[in-house]
A and B are shown apart, each in its own frame.
Chain A
Amino acid sequence: MNLFQSVNSAMDVALGEDPSAVIFGEDVAFGGVFRCSIGLKDKYGADRVFNTPLSEQGIVAFGIGLAVAGATAVAEIQFADYIFPAFDQITNEAAKFRYRTGNLFDCGKLTIRTPCGAVGHGALYHSQSPEAFFSHIAGVKVVMPRGPIQAKGLLLSCIKEEDPCIFFEPKILYRAAIEEVPTGDYTIPLGKAEVVIEGSDVTMVGYGTQVHVLREVASMAQEKLNVSCEVIDLRTLLPYDLNTILKSVIKTGRMIITHEAPQTMGYAAEIATAVQEECFLNLEAPIQRVCGYDTPFAHVYEPFYMPDKWRLFEAVKKVVNF
């Protein structure tokens, strides 16, 4: 299955197992603009797989209400670039529901799914990676898979998780990534990073599409520099698995963090700070961040903007030669 098929499979499982589960958002009824919900309306009915009017704040809030009333709600925001009208509902309502009500009410059964990330031609409003904004909100969980097998298991975990989750789907992987995905029900635990490639010299931390770039960089580093890189996929961005990162940095003493989102106040800043707090004396070199530049995501300049394998390769050299 590719990524959109594995997401489809996850939702098929969820709808099949949980009679209260519903899927909704713009254009989900006919199958969705990325085909993630294809066939589900015919299989489960128009009351369970339905279109909403065009309003992200409405979609997320409707989902919160469904969840508060006890239904499992899977809300789709068509592009992560358009999630911002819902930011108030996510920050002030979804994230704080259980806390502010003293656990009388909660919207744990809410999952928001949204395509994110560079796709080659998306420009400002079809390429964004806004995960950092959401990782700053106490009370939500933020997840981003790197491929179809991860996506299905992590999405099912999000749907079953009793906290509101935001599930980012790297859109460039929808068709490009193809793996042998189990057809039944399975979950991958949230809050746990995965060491995708073991290594001894440099720790490289990323998530989503960037994990594949890191894998390539690890090969390049081994081949051209004889440097052994450990590649870690965070998978869950909030709460994140600091322990796995620390274990790795204690071993290697050098770290690179990378994401497509802009550098300043970005996700990598948190990881870098947390690691230097705990592993200051283990570090052999300053921690490197290889990120998007502090600009909006431009159209024709995408090849220059991206934190590509050459910028990462350069970072490996820098961190090893400090």
Chain B
Amino acid sequence: MFTRNFYRLSKYLRKPCNKNACELRKLHISAALWSNQSPSRFEEKPEFPGSRSKFIHKLSFIQPDDIEGIPVYRVMNRKGEIIEESEDPHLDKDTVIKMYRDMTLLNTMDKILYESQRQGRISFYMTNFGEEGTHIGSAAALSLKDMVFGQYREAGVLMWRGFTLDQFMDQCYGNCNDHGEGKQMPVHYGSKELNFVTISSTLATQMPQASGAAYALKRKGKDLCVICYFGEGAASEGDAHAAFNFAATLECPIIFFCRNNGYAISTPTKDQYRGDGIASRGAGYGMATIRVDGNDVFATYNATKAARDMCVKECRPVLIEAMTYRLGHHSTSDDSSAYRSVDEAAYWDKQDTPIARLRYFMISKGWWDDNKEKEWKTESKQMVMETFARAEARKKPNPELLFTDVYKNMEWHIEKQQKAMKQHVTNYAEHYPLDNFERWKD
């Protein structure tokens, strides 16, 4: 009777998770002590605290090349046709049109702001060409209250949430309307209302922070999650490893969303990692994982939605690796023809972009056509140009702001330096670009 119940209980406890493994081990040990069966039956499983598995008696290594790569989940093919009807998220027309408009508006804004840097109007810019689907697909599956930690190529997430063209451009110009007070380079956006934590240039630093934020949200009990975006290059940083490990061990409701776009500046993925991308690492940390077609907004949407449910309901992290392709240069400081063929980028632009695939889908549903396309192109370009002119005309903030927010309250030594700066600049005014800035009160 004892053994029958023991095995029944033991089978239940075989569900893989640390708690159950511990319980199982305790059961085995006490059963071995009390049972009248021979002790050798209970030496079948290793009892080391550090692992859970069985013994093997023939020498063999796990060879990574023998393992099949993790498959890529997709809903639409390159022509925007739904492959498996059951996977169609059946999003309503308005949502799908918003998805399309946001991706294309971002695309238009990117083109114009990239040009503006070339003309010396803004100092720097990074485009999102080819990756718009990763932003929009994932953002659409989240709650506005979910916190977002990004890397730098996720402007579409902000676009989806309602960041205005003015806000984008004010930040790029660092003018007096910029909520970031002109302190950072262009594309380092942030928004408190939209729960998008301001971007910093250091790579992967946001990742373990995101794990911590998720822990705080869990303790608040608000059924919210955190999403943390990062590139396949940033995933090589030590901070990425820490982020995954902390999120898994501390049971944080966080979606780690990797944009694998093939390049980290000039470094192709073959120089970045030798394993099966980022997705293959997930299980190693104890995280649920999926690899997804990042150029398929529906697949990205489905995966993110399911991930969010797991996070919020089961309090555990999920890793999504979204495969995509970086059509543009790394930034305005980069010319990618130096390290990849123009043909390669042209191929992807022609064959597989999230924008084109969604458009094919919309056309097949009768929700879009060439006329609407033409109208929208004109309308969106005009919106961008008008905003652009406004942002450019605004002055930079008062130079006093150089010294604010180092601490919550300005410390004596910083105040002293602020006064010294003002005094100096007043005395040498003609050597400083004061006309471009708002004035301080004397």
Give A residues with C-beta under 8 Å from B: 20, 22, 47, 50, 52-53, 55, 57-58, 61-71, 73, 85, 88-89, 92-93, 96, 98-106, 108, 138-139, 141, 162-163, 191, 239, 242
Contact = CB atoms under 8 A, between A and B. Distances in A.
B216 interface: yes
B208 interface: yes
A102 to B, nearest CB: 4
Contacts of B202: 88, 92-93
Contacts of A101: 180, 190, 197-198
Contacts of B239: 57-58, 61, 88-89
B131 interface: no
Contact of B405 (A47, A62, A102): A102
B213 A69 contact: yes
Interface of B: 147, 149, 178-181, 183-184, 188, 190-192, 197-198, 200, 202, 205, 207-217, 219-220, 238-239, 241-243, 245-246, 249-250, 404-408, 411-414
Nearest to A140: B407
7 contacts: A58-B208, A66-B212, A69-B212, A69-B214, A98-B405, A98-B406, A141-B407
Closest 5 CB pairs of A and B: A65-B212, A58-B242, A61-B208, A65-B209, A69-B216
Contacts of B249: 52-53
A184 B405 CA distance: 32
B180 A57 contact: no
A22 B183 CA distance: 31
Contact of B408 (A50, A55, A89, A108): A108
Contacts of A22: 215, 219
Contacts of A88: 202, 205, 239
Contacts of A47: 219
Contacts of A68: 197, 209, 212-213
Contacts of B190: 101-102, 104-105
A142 to B, nearest CB: 12
Nearest to A96: B200
A103 B205 contact: no
Contact of B246 (A58, A89, A92, A93): A58
Contacts of B245: 53, 55, 58
Interface centre among B220, B406, B414 (most CB of A within 10 A): B406
B184 A69 contact: no
Contacts of A102: 178-181, 183, 190, 198, 405
Contact of A105 (B197, B217, B413): B197
A65 B205 contact: no
Contact of A55 (B197, B217, B219, B246): B246
Contact of A53 (B147, B242, B414): B242
A64 B406 CA distance: 16
A73 B202 CA distance: 22
Nearest to A63: B212
A105 B405 contact: no
Given A85-B238, A89-B205, A105-B198, A53 B246 contact: yes
Contacts of B211: 58, 61-62, 65
Contacts of A162: 408
Given A69-B217, A102-B183, A138 B406 contact: yes
Contacts of B219: 20, 22, 47, 71
